[in-house]
């Protein structure tokens, strides 16, 4: 199953981008923005998260901790939206990533190509993708889309179909730096339907599973918690499990 593992880690590589969605408000300088918002966009604001893997029971996996700091470095117009440019840095690997988001009418958008990796060479340019809508109970990010057949030479051929939907979850108070912050949960569900053509197997093997991502947006702060649920899938007599991961806000400063 190592080949399966490698494939799905890369196949899902776009969705960890969602884990770096950033928002804001300041407890470091004890100032409050004049208007409560789920996604502050002032340049110079930063958010620091403790990120780690979780197992199937939701328990932190030892030695997987990393600190991710995301900072807004500029604002500019991109395809009709006032975009915020985020620079995120990992303290463990010293790697950086540039992400682009927009917040308008209580909606969060990400500027990306949904399938921008070597295994899914869709030639679409980058576009605005709706990630969160605080005024709607649910929304569709991507309808059922069948992608090109993936050929793994003598190993297998796969015909993937994917859809992505979002919905509002519960409201709750989360403790952020010893302060109760009203927070809105946002849930994204990525559904995979994969038809596998295996050597010496006369009929296609269907592989269906969901990957679920949670965000908690705090009023006046932004993302205060993120969680990718652990998941698993079965192929014939084999079962493959994947750890989830979680990010907890540990510091922030809104300019």
For position 178, which CATH number holds?
2.40.360
Burial of 59 from C-beta contacts in 10 A (0-12 / 13-18 / 19+): exposed
Q: Token pair of 95, please?
A: 């790697």
Q: What DSSP string runs through 118-181?
A: TTEE--PPPEEEEEEETT-SEEEEEEEEEPPPEE-TTS-EEEEEEEEEEEEEEEEEEEETTEEE
pLDDT attached to residue 240: 85
pLDDT attached to residue 13: 39
Dump pLDDT digits (tens) for 24-69: 333 333 334 334 688 999 999 999 999 999 999 999 999 999 999 9
pLDDT attached to residue 113: 64
Of 38, 238, 10, 249, the closest CA to residue 121 belongs to 10
In the three-class reduction of DSSP (H, G, I as helix; E, B as strand; rest coil), residue 251 is classed as strand
Of 92, 121, 108, the closest CA to residue 11 belongs to 121
What are the residue ranges of helices labelled H in the chain?
Answer: 2-11, 16-19
Residue numbers of the domain that contains 157: 2-253
Task: Tell me how far apart the alpha carbons of residues 226 and 174 are, in angstroms, rounded to a whole number.
Answer: 12
Dump pLDDT digits (tens) for 81-123: 999 999 999 998 888 999 899 999 999 998 876 555 444 444 4
- Dihedral of CA atoms 13, 46, 37, 190 in degrees, nearest 10, equals 10
Longest dimension (CA), the chain: 66
Of 8-17, 58-67, 143-152, 197-206, where does mean pLDDT reach its minimum? Answer: 8-17
Neighbour-count burial for 65-92, b at 16+ CB within 10 Å, e otherwise: ebebbbbbeeeeebeebebbbbbbbeee
pLDDT attached to residue 33: 36
What are the backbone angles phi and psi of residue 18, rounded to the nearest 5°?
-65, -30
**What would the mean pLDDT of 119-140 be, rounded to a whole number?**
78
The tally of domains found in the chain comes to 1
pLDDT attached to residue 120: 47
pLDDT attached to residue 8: 42
Higher pLDDT, 66 or 233: 66
Q: Tell whether the torsion through CA atoms of 197, 199, 202 and 206 is positive or negative.
A: negative
Dump pLDDT digits (tens) for 138-190: 999 888 988 878 787 777 888 889 899 999 999 999 999 989 999 999 999 99
């Amino acid at each position: 199953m190592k080949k399966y593992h490698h494939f799905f880690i890369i196949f899902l590589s776009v969705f960890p981008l969602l884990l770096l969605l950033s928002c804001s408000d300041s407890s470091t300088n004890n100032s409050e923005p004049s208007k409560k918002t789920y996604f502050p966009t002032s340049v110079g604001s930063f958010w620091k998260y403790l990120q780690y893997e979780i197992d199937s029971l939701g328990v932190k996996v030892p030695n997987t901790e990393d600190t991710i700091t995301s900072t807004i470095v500029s604002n500019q117009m991109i395809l009709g939206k006032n975009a915020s440019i985020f620079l995120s840095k990992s303290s463990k690997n010293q790697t950086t990533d540039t992400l682009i988001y927009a917040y308008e009418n209580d909606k969060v958008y990400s500027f990306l190509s949904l399938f921008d990796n070597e295994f899914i060479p869709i030639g679409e340019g980058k576009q605005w993708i709706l990630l969160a809508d605080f005024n709607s109970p649910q929304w569709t990010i991507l309808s059922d889309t069948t992608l090109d057949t993936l050929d793994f030479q003598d190993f297998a051929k796969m015909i993937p179909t994917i859809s992505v939907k979002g919905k509002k979850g519960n409201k709750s108070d989360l403790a952020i730096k010893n302060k109760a912050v009203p927070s809105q949960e946002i849930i994204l569900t990525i559904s995979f339907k994969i038809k596998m053509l295996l050597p010496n197997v006369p009929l296609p093997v269907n592989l269906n599973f969901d990957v679920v991502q949670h965000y908690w947006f705090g009023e006046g702060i932004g993302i205060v918690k993120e969680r990718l649920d652990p998941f698993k899938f079965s192929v014939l007599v084999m079962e493959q499990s994947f750890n989830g991961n979680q990010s907890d806000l540990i510091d922030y400063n809104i300019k």
